[in-house]
Structure 1
Amino acid sequence: MGHPQVNFRKTPELGSAREARLINSLVVIAYILPIALILGPFCIFFVVSFGRVEASAVVIDFNLSNYVRILADSTVRMVIGRTLVIGIATALVCTLVGFPAAYLMKILGPTRRSLLMVAFAVPLLMSYVIKIYTVRNLLGTNGVINHFLMASGLVSQPLEFFTLSYYGVFLTLTSVLLPFAVFPIFLSLDRIPASLVEAAADLGASRTRIFWTVIFPLSLSGVAVSLTFTFVLAIGDFITPELVGGPNGFTLGRIIFSQFGLGFNWPFGAALSIFMMMIVTVALALATRIRPPGKVTF
Structure 2
Amino acid sequence: MTTKPIGGDRIWRGIVLLAVYGLPLFFILLPLCGFLVYSLFWVEGTELHHDLTLMNYRRFFGDEIYVPVLRQTVILCLEVAAICIGFGYPVAYFLSGLKGRKKYALLMLLLVPLLMSYIIKMYAIRSILGGNGFLNRALIALGIIDQPLTFFVFNLNAVLLTLSVLLLPFAILPIFLSLERIPKNLLEASADLGGSNRQTFFRVILPLSLPGVVSAASFVFVLAIGDFLTPQLVGGQNGFTFGRIIYSQFGTAFNWPFGAALSVILAALVMVAIVTGAWFGGGKAAVRR
Bin of the TM-score, shorter chain as denominator length: over 0.9
Paired residues in the alignment total: 285
- Seq. identity, %: 46
Is the partner of 2:195 in helix, strand or coil? coil
Which runs of no fewer than 5 residues in structure 2 stay unpaired?
none
Aligned partners of 1:132 and 1:240 also within 8 Å: yes
Moved more, 263-272 or 65-74: 65-74
Aligned to 1:144: 134
Moved more, 52-61 or 224-233: 52-61
Find 2:259's aligned residue among 260, 269, 286. Answer: 269
TM-score scaled to structure 2, two decimals?
A: 0.94
Whole-Å separation in 2 of the counterparts to 1:76 and 1:54: 20
TM-score scaled to structure 1, two decimals?
A: 0.91
Displacement of 1:55: 4.2
* Deviation readout 1:210-244 (Å, 9 max, x if unpaired): 11111111111111110011001111100100000
Displacement of 1:101: 0.4
The reply to whether residue 205 of structure 1 matches residue 205 of structure 2 is: no
Find 1:279's aligned residue among 269, 274, 279. Answer: 269
Is the partner of 1:53 in helix, strand or coil? strand
Whole-Å separation in 1 of the counterparts to 2:15 and 2:210: 35
Alignment RMSD (CA, Å): 1.5
Displacement of 1:285: 2.1
Whole-Å separation in 1 of the counterparts to 2:276 and 2:36: 24
Aligned to 1:119: 109
Aligned partners of 2:215 and 2:278 also within 8 Å: no
Displacement of 1:111: 3.6
Aligned to 1:29: 18
Aligned partners of 1:164 and 1:249 also within 8 Å: yes
Aligned partners of 1:120 and 1:179 also within 8 Å: yes
Aligned partners of 2:73 and 2:242 also within 8 Å: yes
Q: Who wins on radius of gyration, i.e. which is larger?
A: 1
Aligned partners of 1:260 and 1:266 also within 8 Å: yes
Aligned to 2:204: 214
Whole-Å separation in 2 of the counterparts to 1:223 and 1:21: 42
Displacement of 1:293: 5.7
Aligned partners of 1:165 and 1:248 also within 8 Å: yes
Matched AA of 2:38: V
Q: How does 1:1-298 map to 2 (within 5 A)?
A: 12-13=2-3, 15-30=4-19, 31-291=21-281, 292=285
Matched AA of 2:35: F
Is the partner of 1:204 in helix, strand or coil? coil
Which runs of no fewer than 5 residues in structure 1 stay unpaired?
1-10
Moved more, 110-119 or 250-259: 110-119
Whole-Å separation in 1 of the counterparts to 2:151 and 2:166: 18
Query: Cα–Cα, structure 1 residues 215 and 267, in superposed 2: closer, same or farther, change >3 Å?
Result: same
Displacement of 1:289: 2.6
* Deviation readout 1:49-94 (Å, 9 max, x if unpaired): 1111134232121211211111121121221111111110001110
Is the partner of 2:65 in helix, strand or coil? helix
* Deviation readout 1:97-116 (Å, 9 max, x if unpaired): 10110010100122431332
Moved more, 255-264 or 112-121: 112-121
Aligned partners of 2:132 and 2:148 also within 8 Å: yes
Whole-Å separation in 1 of the counterparts to 2:7 and 2:86: 52
Displacement of 1:144: 0.9
Displacement of 1:295: 6.3
Displacement of 1:155: 1.4
Is the partner of 2:53 in helix, strand or coil? coil
